[in-house]
Amino acid sequence: MPGRKSNFMDVQAAVGLAQLPKLDGFAARRGALARLYLSLLADVPEVELPADGDAVREHCWNLFVLRNRPEATGRTREEMIAALKAENVGTGVHWQGLFGFSFYRDYFARHPEGLPKDGLPHATRATDNLMSLPLWPGMTEDDVLDVVAAIRRVLARRR
């Protein structure tokens, strides 16, 4: 059966309680940095940017997730990640469609009628192209400028 064990350890709870008073400040700082990313990357058609929140649906900016457009970059996500790593920029892969996990692969192998005839193109595209840029409350604006400059260098080499 699918599932997970999600209990909180005492040490995790203690750290969480100590960090809780700082949460609003952390979120505000990440939001400011995320909006800086959004403004600096707005003119880069090779990548798709996340939507900012609004007054009703405020974004928590726990991650800044960028979508590679391989048809425009000429690179797979993994190639983009490697190129950014060569520029001293770490990235993360924080999302994978459930269909890629062994439980669901095995289940749908036995029950192919459970999947749409044309597969899951949107989830597959997201799985193949999403990556996270550095974002944490201790970053500076200069750090964001460095990341954006590295992205622009990587993309310029393929133009």
DSSP for 31-63, please give it: HHHHHHHHHHHTT-TTEEPPPP--SSS----S-
Longest dimension (CA), the chain: 52
Burial letters 116-145, b for 16+ CB under 10 A, else e: eeeebeeeeeebbbbbbbbbeeebeeebbe
Q: What percent of the chain has pLDDT over 70?
A: 96
Average pLDDT value for residue range 51-55: 83
**More confidently predicted of 9 and 79:** 79
Q: Give the pLDDT of residue 159.
A: 66
Q: pLDDT by residue (tens digit) across 112-149?
A: 998 888 888 999 999 999 999 999 999 999 999 999 99
With H, G, I as helix, E, B as strand and everything else as coil, classify residue 92. strand
Q: How far apart are the C-alpha atoms of 59 and 65, rounded to whole Å?
A: 12
Q: What is the CA radius of gyration of the chain?
A: 19
Pick the CATH number of 24-156 from 3.40.190.10, 3.30.70.2190, 3.90.1150.10, 3.40.50.720: 3.90.1150.10
Q: How far apart are the C-alpha atoms of 145 and 105, rounded to whole Å?
A: 41
Burial letters 82-107, b for 16+ CB under 10 A, else e: ebbeeeebebeeeeeeeeeeeeeeee
Q: pLDDT by residue (tens digit) across 78-117?
A: 999 999 999 999 999 988 888 888 888 899 899 999 888 8
* β-bridge partners, 47: 68
**pTM, whole model, 2 decimals?**
0.86
